A and B are shown apart, each in its own frame.
Chain A
Amino acid sequence: MRTDPLTQELVEDERYELQQRPAYYFQANRRQFVQVLGAGLMIAATTSGNVTAQQRGGRGRGGRGGSPEPLSHRLHIGTDGIVTVLTGKVEVGQGSRTQVIQAAAEELSLPIDQVKAVLGDTELCPNDGGTSGSRTTPSTIPQVRAAAAAARELLADMAAEKLSVERSALELREGKFVHPASQREVTFADLAADESLAEQWRTTSAGDATLTRVERWSILGKPTGKVDGADVVRGVHQYPSDIRRPNMLYGKVLRPPAYGAELQSVDTSVGEAIEGAVVVRDGDFVGCAGPTSWAADQALQRIAETAEWSTPGDQPTSETLYQHLKRTADGGGGRRGGDGASDAEIQAALDAAAKSHEAAYEIAYIQHAPMEPRAAVAEWEDGKLTVWTATQNPLRVRGELMGVFRLEADQVRVIVPDSGGAFGGKHTGETAIEAARLAQAARRPVSLRWTREEEFTWAYFRPAGLIEVRAGLDGDGKLAAWEHTNYNSGGSAIETPYTVGVHHEQSVRTDSPLRQGSYRALASTANVFARESSMDDLAAMTDDDPLAFRLAHLPQGRLRTVLETAAMRFEWDRRRAERQPGRGVGLACGIEKASYTAACVEVAIEDGRIKVLDICQAYECGAIQNPINLRAQVEGCIVMGLGGALSEAIQFAEGRVTNPAFSSYAVPRMRDVPPIDVVLVNRPDLESVGAGETPIIAVAPAIANAVFHATGKRLRSMPLRGDFA
C-alpha cells in the first residue's frame, strides 16, 4: 500500500485509490531488458516509459489546466456525415457511451443515430483520466460539448462560404445547413468531403463556442435508452471476454492456496503432456494456454497437484478484523474534516455536554462482483502488444504493461470494449498482464477470463472499516461537539454536513489484511452509515423526531431540500406516527461528489429477519442529462446498497476467502427488491455532476434507523445482523 518510484507513475488520481505494483515481474523480460540496457539503467528506463505521455485533453479533470485540444483529438467526421466522439472514458454499464453521444448530438443538432463513439482505446482516444470518481459527467461531457460546439461553428462557416450566404441566414437541421431563402443546403457529408476541412479540424481548438443552454436542450435532458441496446439483447455485443482473434488460445493461471503463500517447487512438465498446452513458468507466475479453456485448466490442474507452497504465518480473519484495524492504526491518514478545533477543544466540548453519545461501527469488506469477471485478450505482433480488456483506466493498464514487459508507450495498445460491470473494481490490469505473458510464450493470441472464485479471491475489495463517533448535546438539544474517526475505510463524505458547535473528523490508515481499493462511492457509505446512525441516537436522546432533529441542524440548501422532498413523498410524519408492531421507519441523508441524497424506508421484522417494505429516495445532481439512465443508476445504487446493508460480507480465514461464490456470498436478486420510489430533483440552473455512486450512501443507515424504530435495537455493523427472535 505504500508508494515507491515505480508505482508513483502508475498511481491513478482518484482520491482513494489502490496503489500497488503490478502483480508480476517477469524474469524473461527483465533479462532481455538487462541485456539491452544494462542493469544500472533500469529505473531510468522504467520511468521513461511515460504513462503520462498523452497530455490530458482540454480543460482536464477537476478543471486542471492544459491548453484547449484540437477538434481532431475529440471528434471525427466521416464522409457519410457520421460524427464519432473519441474519449478515454469507458463504458461499464454506467451509461457513458450514450451520454457522450447525447452531448455531441446536442451541440451538433444531429440525430442520436448519426453520432458514434470510440471509448477507452489508448491509441485513438484522448486522455480523459480514469473512469472513476463520477467524473465523466462534470469533466468529460463539457469537453465533448465544447468540441462539438466548435465543430458546429467551423462547419457553419464552411457552409456559408460554399453557399455564398451570410452564416446567420443558415439553419442547422439534422446534419444539414439549410438556406431557406434559396432552398439550398449543404450536408455534413458534403463538408467532410472537402479536403480543406481536415486541416482546419486539426488546427481549430475546442475553445469557447457557445454551448446550448439547458432550457434549449433537445437531446440532452431527454430520456435516451442505451444506444447499442439492440446489440445487447441479440447477444452480439462483444464484451472483453467475448473477443476472438485468429488462432487464439485460452489461458489459466496457477493461484496460491492462500494469501502470502509462495511457490517453493512445481513440476510444469506434467501440464505439457496435455495436447496443445503451452506452459509458462516465470518466477512466481505459472500459467497454461490451450486450444480450449478446458484444456488449459486440465494442464493447470495437473501442475497444481505438484506444487509445493510455503505456509504463510498467522493472518487476521474476518472475526479478528476490527481489532486488527484498531491495533495497526498508524494515524497517517491525515485529518479530513473539521473546523480547526483542537483535540483539547473537542474534548472540552464533549466534557461540557449536557448529554453524551459514543458509538463504534463496523463495516465489512465487500466485493464489486461484476457479472463479467476480469478478462483480457492479448496479442503480440512484431513486438507490439494489443490487449482488449475490462478496465476503468486503460492508461494505467498500459503503464502496467509497459513496466512489466519493458515496452514504450507506442508498443502497447489497450482497448476497452464496453464491459460487464465494474463499480470501482476494475482499475487494475491483472488479466491484461497474465494474458500478455501467456501470449508472449505461445506466440498466439490468448484469452483469459477469471473464474468467479478467482474474482472473489484475487480482485480487490471495498475497504473494511471501524468508525468511532463521540458527540455531545447542549442543554437545548443542539449538537455541541462531534468527533468521527474512521479506521481504514477512508475519508469520503467524512465531514458532517450538520451545524455543530465544534467538530473533528479523521480517517486513519491501518494495515488492511485484504487487498483493497475503490468501490462505488468509496468510504461514503461507511461514513454516512456511522454518522446517520449516531444522529438517530442523538435524536432519540432529545425525544425529537429524527427528521426534525436533522432539520434543526441543517441550513437551507440542497441537502435539506432532498431530505424534505423524500420525507414529504414518503409521508414521513404520518408513517412515523402510525407505528405498527414489528415495523419501523427510518431515514438518512448525505452528500458525496457534489450530489445530494436522502432515503426513507420502512422495515418489518419477519421470522427474525429484516425485511425492507419500501424505499423512497430523493436525489439531486444538478441538471439532469438523461432521466432514464439517471433513474436506473439511482435504482441500481439503492438495490446494490441493500446488498451491503443486509447480506454482503467477505469472510476470510487462514489467508483465504471462505465464501468466494454467489452461493455463499449473497448479492441482491429480484426477490430482494422492495417497491422503490425515486424522486429525481432536477436543477437545470446547476451544473450536472455524476450520479453513478452517491445514491448508494443513504440506504444502509436508513434501514438501520428503521430497525431501531421497529425494535429499539441499534445495529452498528454492516451488513446489519440482529437477533430478533
Chain B
Amino acid sequence: MQGTFQFTVNGKPVQVVTDGERPLLDVIREDLALTGTKYGCGEGECGACTVLTDGLAIRSCITTVADAQGLNLQTIEGLAPEDQLHAVQQAFVEKDAMQCGYCVPGQIMNAVGLLQKNGSPTRDEIVRGMSGNICRCCNYVNILAAIERAAELGSSRTESSRDQ
C-alpha cells in the first residue's frame, strides 16, 4: 500500500512516499542514500542493519517503513558530526575492532544503544547485549575490547563534563 511516511533521520525531517511494507533498511539505503546501514540477513538475526530510535537499537531489516512513522532515527552516519568520532567509533578504531568491517556500523549502533542503557556494563552484560550482532570475521575479541574501551571513554567524558 502506497503511503506517505514521515520521520526524522539524523535530526533531519524525512518524508517518503512509498509502499508501507518496504523494509526501513531499504528506504534508508536506497531512498536516503545512507549506505552505512547494512543488509546481512533480512530476519533480524545478525544486527548489520541496526539503527537507533530515540536511543533504542532496532533492526531496520524487519521494521517496515510504516512502523517508522514518527520515529527519530539515527544511523551510523549521524552518530557524530563530520570529522569527529563518537566514543564507540573511536574505541573501534583504537582496538582495531574490524576485519572486513561490514558488520561494524551495526555493531557500533548496537553498542551505543547498549551503553545508553547501561554506561558501565560488566563483561557478561556486553556479551549478552552484543550476541545479536554477527561478525563472520569472528573478530569478537577486539569488538568486546572496543566496547569496554568505549565504556571507559564514555564515563571519562561524563566525568569531565561534570567537572566543568
Partners in one complex: yes
- Identify the A interface with B (CB < 8 A): 91-95, 225-226, 229-230, 232-239, 241-242, 244, 250, 292-294, 298, 368-373, 418-421, 423, 449, 451-453, 628-629, 632-633, 635-640, 643, 661-663, 667-671, 673, 676
Contact indicator B76/A234 (Cβ below 8 Å): yes
A229 near B36 with CB under 8 A, answer no
Residue of B nearest to A375 (CB): B39
A565 to B142, CA, bound (A): 24
Contact A239 B102 (CB under 8 A): yes
Q: How far is the CB of B138 from chain A (nearest CB, A)?
A: 3
For A228, the closest partner residue in chain B by CB is B101
A-chain residues with CB within 8 Å of residue B23 when the two chains form the complex:
294
Question: Known interface pairs A371-B38, A661-B41. Does A233 touch B92 (Cβ–Cβ under 8 Å)?
Answer: yes
The residue that A452 contacts in the complex, of B42, B126, B128, with Cβ under 8 A, is B42
B96 touches A661 (CB 8 A): no
A423 to B135, CA, bound (A): 13
* CB-defined A-B contacts under 8 Å, sample of 12: A226-B96, A230-B85, A232-B98, A242-B35, A244-B33, A420-B103, A632-B96, A640-B137, A662-B43, A662-B46, A667-B136, A673-B138
| B77 touches A (CB below 8 Å) | yes
Does the CB pair A451–B42 fall under 8 Å?
yes
A221 to chain B, nearest CB (A): 16
Tell me how far the C-beta of B115 lies from the nearest C-beta in chain A, rounded to whole angstroms: 15
Question: Which of B31, B39, B45, B100 has the most chain A CB within a 10 Å cutoff?
Answer: B100
B33 in contact with A371 (CB, 8 Å): no
- Contact, CB under 8 Å: B138 / A229: no
A371 touches B85 (CB 8 A): no
Assembled-state Cα–Cα distance A370/B39 (Å): 11
Q: Are A234 and B89 in contact (CB under 8 A)?
A: yes
List 7 tightest A-B contacts by C-beta distance, closest first: A235-B36, A93-B100, A420-B102, A235-B76, A639-B138, A232-B101, A242-B35
Classify the interface of chain B: helix, strand, loop or mixed.
loop
B4 at the interface (CB under 8 A from A): no
Residue of A419, A669, A670 ringed by the most chain B CB atoms within 10 A: A670
Interface centre among A232, A292, A298 (most CB of B within 10 A): A232
Q: Is the CB of A636 within 8 A of B43?
A: no
Q: A226-B96, A229-B98 are in contact. Are A369 and B104 (CB under 8 A)?
A: no
Question: Please, what's the 1-or-0 string for B17-50, where 1 marks a CB less than 8 Å from any CB in chain A?
Answer: 0110111001001110111111111110110100
* Closest Cβ–Cβ distance, residue B95 to chain A (whole Å): 9
**Cβ of B46 and Cβ of A371 under 8 Å apart?**
yes
Q: How many A-B residue pairs have CB under 8 A?
A: 187
CA distance A298 to B102 in the complex (A): 27
Is B151 part of the contact surface with A, judged by Cβ < 8 Å? no
Q: With both chains docked as a complex, state the minimum distance between the C-beta of A695 and any C-beta of chain B, in angstroms.
A: 11
Is B72 positioned at the interface, with any CB of A under 8 Å from its CB? no
Q: How far is the CA of A670 from the CA of B39 in the complex (A)?
A: 19
Contact present for A233 and B41 (CB under 8 Å): no
Please name the residue on chain B nearest to A678 by beta carbon.
B141
Contacts of B142 in A (CB 8 A): 632, 635
Nearest residue in B to A673 (C-beta to C-beta)?
A: B140
Q: Give the distance in Å from the alpha carbon of A309 to the alpha carbon of B39 in the complex.
A: 30
- Report whether B93 and A229 are in contact in the complex, using a CB–CB cutoff of 8 Å: yes
A628 contact set on B, CB distance < 8 A: 96
| Residue among B18, B80, B92, B99 facing the most chain A CB atoms (10 A cut-off) | B99
Contacts of A673 in B (CB 8 A): 127, 138, 140-141, 144
B154 interface residue per 8 A CB criterion: no
Bound CA–CA A421/B34 (angstroms) = 21
A239–B101 Cα distance when bound, in Å, is 9
Q: Which of B104-143 contact A (CB under 8 A)?
A: 104-105, 108, 126-128, 130-143
Choose one: B30, B37, B45; the contact of A235 (CB below 8 Å).
Answer: B37
Do A230 and B93 have beta carbons less than 8 Å apart? yes
| B79, B126, B131 interface centre (most CB from chain A within 10 Å) | B131
Contact of B75 with A by CB under 8 A: yes
Given A92-B100, A229-B93, A662-B134: A670 touches B140 (CB 8 Å cut-off): yes
A293 and B26 contact, Cβ closer than 8 Å, known pairs A230-B85, A632-B142, A670-B143:
yes
Q: Which residue of A lies closest to B132 (CB)?
A: A669
Contact of B100 among A370, A662, A671 (CB under 8 A): A370
Residue of A nearest to B61 (CB): A452
Q: Would you call B135 and A671 a contact (CB within 8 A)?
A: no
Question: Which residues of B lie under 8 Å from residue A643 when comparing CB positions?
Answer: 138
Q: Contact check, B100 vs A225: say whether CB atoms are below 8 A apart.
A: no
Known: A230-B93, A234-B85, A671-B128. A635 touches B98 (CB 8 A): no
Q: In whole Å, how far is B109's beta carbon from the nearest beta carbon of chain A?
A: 9
A420 engages B100 (CB within 8 Å): yes
